[in-house]
Amino acid sequence: MAEREPVRLGVLISGRGSNLQAIVDAIERGELRAVVKLVISNRAGAPGLARAERHGIPTCVIDHRRFGSREEFDRALVSALNAAQVNLVVCAGFMRILSRVMLDAFPNRVMNIHPSLLPAFPGLDAQKAALEHGVRLAGCTVFFVAPGTDDGPIIVQAAVPVMPDDDEQTLSDRILAQEHRIYPIAISLFQQGRLQVHGRKVLILDPPAPDSAAALVNPPGARMAGHRAKRT
């Protein structure tokens, strides 16, 4: 079977750009058949812009404050993405809510990543909210953007344990390491034509055989009473 074309990415950022970096690194390692056609930041001076430039990737700044409405801002994004012939839009720390203008221009072709196991803890400060709720497992989610905040068909998730001595930083770091792992995976599934959106759900075609024993339980030594491991 002929190999599919590399996916042409437009990456939207507002800041640090470590997920952008992970995607670029996966491409350069040959693990992801993709080309980053354009990186757009709504903030001048976002560190992610310099990362893109170091890899020779075209960048532009579209400052949302120049526009009277979300729709007008999104029209400017769409025309830049279309001019760059992008066929998948990847939000990576992009701090703007997208309107119908963008979602209609790229139906089921806008991805985002969020540092929680959605639908838990949408919105800002998800890691702080996870700590405050005392969850034992936190994680991250890549999803197709739908109207609403951090809502949309889920593509890939990764879970991490919350440790008793975690603070926001240590938990965020543990989650971020998984974000960097799963974003390239989600994009690669798209590139291979293996994602089908059915309502709220994403069907993955030909998924790898699951390991039914793979379960993350936290605290790790937890057992039913009466089944305690013998101390020797």
Active site residues: 114
* Near ligand GRF in 95-134, by CB under 6 A: 113-115
Q: Which of 17, 139, 161, 184 binds ligand GRF (CB under 6 A)?
A: 17
93 binds ligand GRF (CB under 6 A): yes
Smallest distance, Å, CB 176 to ligand GRF? 6
* Near ligand GRF in 31-70, by CB under 6 A: 48
- For residue 195, the one-letter residue type is L
Contact (CB, 8 A) for 32 and 23: yes
Cis peptide before 58 (omega within 30 of 0): no
Could you tell me how many residues of this chain bind ligand GRF (CB under 6 A)?
A: 13
Smallest distance, Å, CB 44 to ligand GRF? 15
Helices (H), the chain: 18-28, 47-54, 70-83, 100-105, 126-133, 168-191
What is residue 30's three-state secondary structure?
A: coil
Token pair recorded at residue 75: 């029209």
Smallest distance, Å, CB 219 to ligand GRF? 25
Smallest distance, Å, CB 223 to ligand GRF? 33
What distances in angstroms separate CA 206 from CA 155, 189, 193, one per listed residue? 14, 10, 11
Give the CA radius of gyration of the chain: 19
CB of 93 or CB of 184, closer to ligand GRF: 93
Q: Which residues bind ligand GRF (CB under 6 A)?
A: 15-19, 48, 92-93, 113-115, 176, 179
